[in-house]
Structure 1
Amino acid sequence: MSKIDLSLKNLDALFPEDFTQEQVAKAKTIFLKELAFLSHKFYGGKMQTLPKAGIYGFNWFNVYYTPGVSKVSTTIRDNNDASFDLSNRGNMVAVVSDSTRVLGDGDCTPPGGLGVMEGKAYLMKYLAGVDAVALCVDSYNEKGEHDPDKIIQFVKMLQPSFGAVNLEDISQPNCYKVLDTLREECDIPVWHDDAQGTGSVTLAGLINALRIVKKDMNDIKIVMYGAGASNATIARLILQAGADPKKMIMFDSKGGLHKNREDIKADARFYRKWELCQSTNPNNVNDVLEACKDADVLIALSKPGPDVVKPEWIKNMGSKPIVFVCANPVPEIYPYAAKEAGAYIVATGRGDFPNQVNNSLGFPGILKGALLVRARKITDEMAITAAY
């Protein structure tokens, strides 16, 4: 065992040499969780607010506050867009969540999402110089149900103070209505990172993987395991990027998505899933092993593993199979096990494994770009362009 480097670059070397690959992977997960808890407790979270304007004496408070600031207020009153130049609005993102789908941990109650939301804010500041604030809201209505309209109303009310909104960890189907409504009705870009962010980064990873194995997007057979907001949006972006819907098969917890899934058709809230039912899996395949036969790509965003994606699924795939297993905090199958089963390229959602496919690689830059050009919307086409 070695002494830990502060950069954590030698993390694998910390564990006994007789540990198996699975034991090392599990030990790393436990270690990172414990270190995260201790560091958050030590610092009291990850973020704070600091002034950026200089103070050169007591009288400067009269400049930044009353009476001087009145000039700023009246200027913005007469031209609301001046708020992007005369306040921090032009560099400020609201990270909004009701914490109903936090990583693989499910409904964590509103304050339970603060760790992830502060993490988003941390990455935006560190990687893109964007200021962000974590806002975890209670979306319960009088019936004790999570109500998407409460999130929609909240975001509409706060938009005058922010340049963009990053939606995060809102469970489906509510997340679809929240994003699609706010994208059309807000004057600032509203971005759902679990959906558009993960979709953009996954598409980028797939594009590069296909270059390595020398296959074309329109020729490949794709199996999507998991049909939550992330994978449903990944599928939509991949199809818009040129994949053949007849060669795509998606699975949720009840089986394959296809035109005979009356349970999905009957619930209008799942309209995004129903769109995929109508366009993909024309042969109504319901068995994952059968779907994986000669498949070129397997993309899983389902539930934390390991042992969720089976080695025999990968063994049944075609030549040089591409396997993305991106559940957090533990992938559906460990990378070494996927490789042993025959995967040619393996990616996960974690940075401590090779080939990370995680929305953190995309959202800081994409939101920074939207702020710089003062975009009013971030479309699917923009997410696809970012992937290329």
Structure 2
Amino acid sequence: MNYFKQLLEILVVSTRLGLTSFGGPIAHLGYFHEEYVRRRKWMDEKSYADLVALSQFLPGPASSQVGIGIGIMRGGIFGGFISFLGFTLPSVIALILFAFIAQEFGVADAGFIQGLKIVAVAVVAHAILGMARNLTPDLTRKTIALFALIATLMIPHFLSQIGVILVAGLLGYFIFRNNQNEEKLSMKFPISKRFGGICLTLFFGLLAALPILSHFSSITWISIFDSFYRAGSLVFGGGHVVLPLLEREFVPTGLISEESFLAGYGAAQAVPGPLFTFASYIGADIGGWAGGLMATVAIFLPAFLLILGTLPFWYSLRENSKIKGAFMGINAAVIGILISAFYQPIWTSAILTPMDFALAALLFFMLAYWKLPPWIIVLSGAIGGSLIGLL
């Protein structure tokens, strides 16, 4: 009975965060710290910092992985699932409903959709600047970011992004391998190394098997599941980086129009919770409620398998300076990939006139300097886009 009450408490707290956590992954981590560390004291400062560090080293949605990890430490594997469910479900429901509304009323051509595209310009620009300060503080990492940008622009294919990440990791391994960190891990996790090994095996097994199965199968949904799973497995840097991967998977094939894709991405800025739930919108646009839920499972499954698989082994990874060096190189490459995604398709499809640029500048200023909540930015962008459409 006590365990059930514990799970219920996790659900209530995580759902409240899922309904109120606007602002993207960095803001989410701030909300988590305030609720779980300062207010409820479910973990100490050092343990929380270590868990955040682990989430930064793994591909996938960092804030979701931190939430899953906190749930695991509080209530075991079921606690991790409940924590994820509460934090993610409000956003999933909102974006699936938006997909239905967009299809029913044909809003892809509405003026406010252009405004939502411009919102994406302001939000991604703000994200790039904030992440670049942390991930490319020196000339070496700035150079890695530059070449990542050039490579992904010249070869606009998801395989080029994978290649860039691998090369950047290799460079980081050799360049930053002597990076020292004296922090000691203090976390304890209720997961065995054997179970962790099973999860990691399943993660890599699905990553290798799904593309093969998709190639030899005529079932469209297997290919779609593969696309979402691969996106969730290979994205370093969070939801903004998953944008180009999903765009290049679904727009050229005609499964979703570019207008609908960018409209959904703009709408994703208006809801709280993880930006990876943008996949729920795409899935719903393609296949209704079932498609939205399937896409959600596919894109978040890698995050579950990775956090469950790495928690038992995190101490050795945390202490290995060479591993940390590889991720320093990868994180620098993320900046280049972000800028590439910022130009194509976000900038090229949204900034068409001087008025568009003026609105983007205003929204960026509202977000970066006036520090207004993201929902106000989204609402202002939608109104501004509608007004521009009337001119």
Greater share of strand residues, 1 or 2?
1
Q: Which is bigger in relative contact order (C-alpha 8 A, separation at least 6)?
A: 2
Greater share of helix residues, 1 or 2?
2
